[in-house]
Structure 1
């Protein structure tokens, strides 16, 4: 009898719960990460409430961030069998499932479900469309509303929008289910530093819905995108793209920083127009002035902004230089990876994200190289408003196998590169696009960077292109970009084994240098053995911060001498923060200890700009 009872209880435990009985999920709780930050405990259950798309804003929107439910799936065929909601476990969205903030902190899942029940605001116009927007899902997402597949997307760093008007109930709850597949580096996809095979410079991957999800109410024919670019002469090119793609009257109003209307125009949608703003105050790191834009088309109104600045290259005293508003501006700042010990790819809060930006600006730097990762749009808006130049890398493909991408993989990677350009080309702070980093995922049986460079110039003729940073340089793009740890070799007649000789027809640039390491106290260290045992792979280790800061001073002074003597036009110091086993940041991974001598660093950075200014006279 006892055996029969045991079998009965086992069958009950494994049987599918009838739909008439409400399921319950394991409740969400913030887990303890291996290393926290000052913002970990401040995440709450309504994360990232900010409007996620700062250059195309509407009033009628609803944030869907918060507590969703989650469960893993066994494979790709599971997408055919929609699971009941709620799913097995609560999860915080947006987040990477590998991070503690998600409430999961789980590894190795490649197929999974996310679910949410939501209602549409009752005050939304019933004649309007309802768009469901995902800012980023890594890597492939298939979306269902009330049991119907409404769309899918491939690409872990880019937004997508779905018109769900025909599939939602406006007077009751709606079921949202998202099936996600993320191979990370099991396939050659744009992945950057993400890996399932941890090593010194490759880190914990990010899987799932890692940026904001939201609803938006739009009219039948609505503005889908604004392309806006203002130059130093006050000329502003604007294209108002619409769903119907039919010429429609639009009204564009431009306001200065004080809210005064400085330009008012009646234009036509879906065609390039050029308008003039009289005597604009120019955008620069020292004066990041932005102008607000309001665009009205029939019964659709959106708000945006732009900055007036011109990025170009030119000859200054016989040396090819990058120019901002017609003047040589030496660009100096850190390699910025954008990793967090609690959120992995996503900062825990907006305040945490801008801490890194403010740290860079406070140390006197004017630039950041966003390293093979693409951030939420709010990051670029913060750089626009604070005056921080951005060198933006394309996300690299798999590198650990040593195999080059196939034709199909190359085509998909180039498709996603186009998306990166089109989604981000309106941010004034972005000054340069980087195609390849150190040969990672780069085809060398032919030189695709030449064709890609031409393609980028078609998509965005307003910026410079660093086709190859590090090595495998074949002459494409605007820069000859050298990497050399620890000593810089910036625009010099000497160069390292993997780099190329300085090309006087292109801009001499130090894409990476420094990398000075110092192991912090355990309380500031990522305590994962796979990372800790790689610390000594750091380019140059120092026993204490005194030695670290003396050496940093020596390297920055050496860079200053190269500016004085040779053709150095900018440099990237590795790096903003420690990341897992890399302990070479200006600040530790938890952002609690600033490693650099702030006063000395400010003086050394100022000396770089002074030397560059003297060369420009």
Structure 2
């Protein structure tokens, strides 16, 4: 029997008068990456979106949907499918990979059709999951409104069982409203008013969409932590919120041996102990597989045994990992892509950045005012990269403060982010405010927000204010200073404040030294090119660039040895649009630094050395070593379609 292609089957269901949508194709972005041409139509469809709550029965809806802009919804009915243009989901409609590549759309529709696998019909529920839609989403299935969400960085789900049919195709419509720059919302670096450190926005369904089959009583959430003493704390949440017997098993991934098998009940918090666990560190990121069986439901997860805390070491307050001082060192990581904007072109592209960070001997990444897909944090868990996780900043224009309602919404979305990510062992620190963006200063809400985060997650540290407007909240005294570090020094520059010995000293940003790349590796839009010289420090050539980088690392080392510096964030992983201060160019084709020389400077093994029981960072700088470097390049192509013309 010959099976008809799915596109043929779908076309048979279209109304006779429905016009065919404009076919999908990748539009040439201003700058591509080595993965642009490899993305295809389903780059994320094989990747399970929620690695800490896995089931076998799932179906990706990633792929080619249709799209059209619209006016405000105003109770309008979902339009007939297909819509005007085909679009890649997930993607930002401003990106070349989306097939749309337009900016400035505020209201829009997305739509697709799907069928339900036959095995999902026997007394089971069907869940529809969205990992992230920017900014507000209203979802319809076969014309029924089944749910909505506000917030561009967090996942949401709905039970669509009563709205679907198992005998034919079903329709999904998603109405999206994205008020970037028009309302004060958590939007991070996104802007339609492009400038040096604010970049192309992301609109639409930019993370995965998928279906899942679950029994009538199912596990919808899991809170799971494990500390250095072997203590495991677990709460299994169910949709019916009724105490239901369950079994939890924990297995050492290295040996395959069971280390715990507990009989518990759902919707209550329990603790038990695992003897002599292997501890998670950046040098040895030991993970344990977890399975939970509850009636007809079974989920797989993982955890790690580790404790994040603070304590006095030789008279200085330090961040501790498993009771020992570990110096946090790594890059500011913005997660922008020239071909995908917020959405990496492929999972391997996303992993590429993290692999470089790890390969260079760094042990941390600061995820800068963006929340990534959960598989990003899974990769950090498995590689052994500590994460300093920022809350996406609220942007306020026209010199006004956030309203009470806007501040309340910021706090709500902060809580959602913490709840969503708190099971990932790699996350060590939550950041609330960056450089005063959206921060109210006529009173100090960071104190209350810090306490709120600590109630939600007492297992981590909180950096209430990174940059300035520091009033003493949180676990860190964190300043930003370009290019040279000022970490716990007895001097400081405005708008920073004098070092507070009652909190951990962190250099939240420093470095930022820039070197204009060749035109083939440069984001070629005029607004970005015109602001290159706003990069914190621009160098004429590679020799002075490497000399300066070595100088900054030496200064940081001295501040660790002489004062109380406990961590530093180097700006940044890659160039982003008009910022040309990355370890790599924006297209990831050129690694600016000499990898071998960088590894020698930083010395891997977590950047730590122990000398006479005093732990401090050591860079092993070699003043006589040549500063010459070898660029790592691959063939590239650059293109510039009409929407980006300047």
Q: TM-score, normalised by structure 2?
A: 0.91
Length, aligned pairs only: 599
Alpha carbons 2:132, 2:155 under 8 Å: kept: yes
Match of 1:548 among 533, 545, 550: 545
Cα shift readout 1:416-459 (whole Å, capped 9, x = no counterpart): 00000000000000000001011110011110011111111110
Residue 68 of structure 1: aligned partner? 65
Residue 630 of structure 2: aligned partner? none
The 1:612–1:592 alpha-carbon spacing in structure 2 relative to 1, beyond 3 Å, is: farther
Corresponding position: 1:504 with 2:485: no
Residue 609 of structure 1: aligned partner? 607
Match of 2:32 among 28, 33, 36: 36
Name structure 2 gaps, 5 residues minimum. 1-13, 617-646
- Structure 1 distance, partners of 2:365, 2:297, is 36
Corresponding position: 1:59 with 2:59: no
Corresponding position: 1:268 with 2:265: yes
Residue 6 of structure 1: aligned partner? none
Match of 1:182 among 178, 181, 185: 178
Match of 1:522 among 519, 522, 525: 519
Residue 353 of structure 1: aligned partner? 350
Task: Find the residue that maps to 2:538 and give its secondary structure.
Answer: strand
Corresponding position: 1:233 with 2:220: no
Residue 479 of structure 1: aligned partner? 476
Residue 224 of structure 1: aligned partner? 220
Match of 1:327 among 314, 324, 330: 324
Alpha carbons 2:361, 2:607 under 8 Å: kept: no
Residue 136 of structure 1: aligned partner? 132
Alpha carbons 1:330, 1:609 under 8 Å: kept: yes
Residue 20 of structure 1: aligned partner? 16
Residue 302 of structure 2: aligned partner? 305
- Structure 2 distance, partners of 1:564, 1:611, is 12
Residue 576 of structure 1: aligned partner? 573
Name structure 1 gaps, 5 residues minimum. 1-17
Q: CA deviation at 1:599?
A: 2.4
Residue 410 of structure 2: aligned partner? 413
Where in structure 1 do 4 or more consecutive aligned residues deviate above 3 Å? 607-615
Alpha carbons 2:141, 2:171 under 8 Å: kept: yes
Task: Find the residue that maps to 1:25 and give its secondary structure.
Answer: coil
Q: CA deviation at 1:610?
A: 4.6
Q: CA deviation at 1:401?
A: 3.0
Q: CA deviation at 1:605?
A: 1.7
Alpha carbons 1:564, 1:611 under 8 Å: kept: no
Alpha carbons 1:235, 1:275 under 8 Å: kept: yes
- Structure 2 distance, partners of 1:530, 1:613, is 50
Match of 2:122 among 107, 121, 126: 126
The 5-angstrom pairing of residues 317-466 of structure 1 reads 317-466=314-463
Residue 629 of structure 2: aligned partner? none
Match of 1:47 among 43, 48, 51: 43
Q: CA deviation at 1:613?
A: 6.1
- Structure 1 distance, partners of 2:312, 2:578, is 42
Q: CA deviation at 1:353?
A: 0.1
The 1:211–1:599 alpha-carbon spacing in structure 2 relative to 1, beyond 3 Å, is: same
The 5-angstrom pairing of residues 239-250 of structure 1 reads 239-250=235-246
Corresponding position: 1:89 with 2:85: yes
Task: Find the residue that maps to 1:221 and give its secondary structure.
Answer: coil
Alpha carbons 1:560, 1:611 under 8 Å: kept: no
Q: CA deviation at 1:22?
A: 3.7
Q: CA deviation at 1:76?
A: 3.3
- Structure 2 distance, partners of 1:355, 1:147, is 41
The 5-angstrom pairing of residues 206-225 of structure 1 reads 206-225=202-221
Between 601-610 and 536-545, report the one with greater CA deviation: 601-610
Match of 1:563 among 547, 557, 560: 560
Alpha carbons 2:246, 2:295 under 8 Å: kept: yes
Between 398-407 and 323-332, report the one with greater CA deviation: 398-407
Residue 631 of structure 2: aligned partner? none
Between 203-212 and 254-263, report the one with greater CA deviation: 254-263
Corresponding position: 1:108 with 2:104: yes
Q: TM-score, normalised by structure 1?
A: 0.96
Residue 620 of structure 2: aligned partner? none
- Structure 2 distance, partners of 1:592, 1:402, is 39
- Structure 2 distance, partners of 1:610, 1:302, is 38
Task: Find the residue that maps to 2:355 and give its secondary structure.
Answer: helix
Task: Find the residue that maps to 1:354 and give its secondary structure.
Answer: helix
Task: Find the residue that maps to 1:422 and give its secondary structure.
Answer: helix
CA RMSD of aligned residues (A): 1.3
